[in-house]
Chain A
Amino acid sequence: MFCVSGINTAPPEAGPGGVNEAHQPEIRDRIVKTIYREAEAIAARVVRQTGPHRDWEHKVDDILTSRLLGFPVMFLLLGLVFWITLVGASYPSQLLAKALFWGEERLSEIFVWLDAPSWLHGLVVTGVYRTAAWVVSVMLPPMAIFFPIFALLEDLGYLPRVAFNIDPLFKMAGTQGKQALTMSMGFGCNAAGVMACRIIESPRERLIAILTNNFVPCNGRFPTLIALASIFVGPAAAPGFSSLAASFTVAGLILAGILITLLTSWLLSRTILKGVPTTFTLELPPLRLPQVGRVLVRSVQDRTLFVLARAVTVAAPAGALIWVLANISFEGQSLLARGAGLLEPFGQALGLDGFILLAFILGLPANEIVLPILLMGYLSAGTMVEVDSLTVLQNILVHERGWTWLTALCTMLFSLLHFPCGTTLFTIQRETKSLKWMFWAAAIPLAVACLVCFAVAQTVRALGLV
């Protein structure tokens, strides 16, 4: 009981009946002191210290949290992780796409051989199979690289150092550095990030961390960001530097996400979640060399395959639905095109177009399927059949649909900032036990995304930059 059993079970300020308020702290102190004395005595008997503190650990920590290098190292590591992911994923991605689209052709042949009706072929092959294949080929390689690298950084003990470095910024925003840890979880999956917010004791700060978690792009959105950065930033950079430029663009977007997290947290703690920052106690665990083998196996098993399975189970039925929307016509126009037409003016104001906005809305079940939906929407009007490489994607976006760098930028920003996916919203409802907070968790990011995209698009257009 009392203090050592944990803060949540600590007795209320007034203290249990009978114990005088003035004496209570003294009693507690004595209890805790006795417990620690006992623990020390036991530890002295049974624990053997294995040598002095390792020197390298101290030196590495000196760099990681240095006044001069702490922040640059953070940014460089982030950029490096994306660079490795980007470079490492591009070739396997193409290979996987080739294999899966080869499978699509064989599947089509079977349908022809069976003399199946064309709508069935469209629904199953063009809808379900192609969307799932797209999701797998675009998502699997980056995830299989990004997650293990991130897990290695985690295992090294670097993430608490990040929280340690940026706590003052969160303190200014009225929250605390542990939010940096829940944000790191969000890189994998925002639903996991929201659950991780349990580590924050103060209910107010926990709620802020939950409401702003989607400002870190989850791995369902990474492929979108990475693909668009490779298409639009890569070629603009000096030859040989294209993947480097693309990865630092993604890293820059993440910095923008962190900035928006801080601003939104600041705004929230001054409006609907008023309060002063409470306390921050964080253990910095000893740095240790990561157990590479175990980390690799666990991150592929627990994260990569898990997230991929979820994405495919969502993408397959969504693919069917989108195919239906793209192929049922009403007054000579597909439902998808009609919906996009309705959204066109809003999309234009935000630097996007109707199809992009519609893809984000229909992509609510899972962010992974936003790009496939968008392509299906675009293709339902055009003639393209296969999208098995980024060059083809570039052709569709730039030459057929007239994307500029502003369209790409606004799409990336909207993807970064918009409402979280359905799974995350359900998790928020479960964690906060309130529909109200679930609503805010969708409304606040949506408002932020619209505001930022609108401001960027109007500024760029007013300056005549596109």
Chain B
Amino acid sequence: MKVLPLSELPTGQWGRVVSLKARGMARCRLLDLGLVPDTPVQAVRRSPLGDPTAYRIRGALIALRREEAGQVLVTPFMILPAR
């Protein structure tokens, strides 16, 4: 199973949260967003200057900078286009 930082997830790709590297307040903030293990996350779009990136997390679109997204480890997975 390939594990990579969320910041490295290509746009359009889905990943499932494996763990958080952050500690303390930063970890709290990420957990508050709903980034608990097993949560599916999609990298949706990057800002024109390459950072931050908007992620689809539990139905909401949330922008994170590279530093924060790098604290989240995910494993990519395929999702079927139709629901």
Contact = CB atoms under 8 A, between A and B. Distances in A.
Interface of A: 2-4, 6-7, 10, 13, 25, 28-29, 32-33, 36, 52, 61-62, 65-68, 70-71, 164-165, 167-169, 171, 177, 279-286
Contacts, number: 98
Nearest to A61: B45
A281 B37 CA distance: 19
A285 B60 CA distance: 7
9 contacts: A3-B28, A10-B28, A13-B24, A13-B25, A32-B31, A164-B63, A279-B65, A282-B62, A283-B63
B73 to A, nearest CB: 14
A25 B45 contact: no
A280 B31 contact: no
Contacts of A25: 23, 27
Given A165-B49, A279-B29, 16 more contacts: A2-B28, A28-B28, A29-B20, A36-B34, A62-B45, A65-B47, A70-B47, A70-B48, A168-B49, A171-B51, A171-B65, A279-B26, A279-B65, A281-B62, A284-B62, A284-B63
Contacts of B24: 13
A167 B51 contact: yes
A286 B61 contact: yes
Return the 10 tightest CB-CB contacts between A and B, nearest first. Answer: A70-B48, A168-B49, A284-B61, A3-B28, A33-B36, A32-B31, A282-B63, A3-B31, A67-B48, A10-B28
A7 B26 CA distance: 9
B62 A283 contact: yes
Contact of A65 (B31, B37, B48, B67): B48
B32 A6 contact: yes
Contacts of A33: 36-37
B18 interface: no
Interface residues of B, number: 33
A409 B26 CA distance: 46
Nearest to B39: A36
B27 to A, nearest CB: 6
Nearest to B52: A167
Nearest to B57: A283
Contacts of A7: 25, 28-29, 32
Contacts of A4: 31-32
Given A7-B28, A168-B49, A36 B36 contact: yes
A164 B45 CA distance: 10
Interface string B29-56: 1011110110100000111111110100
A66 B37 CA distance: 31
Given A4-B32, A32-B31, A62-B45, A280 B54 contact: no
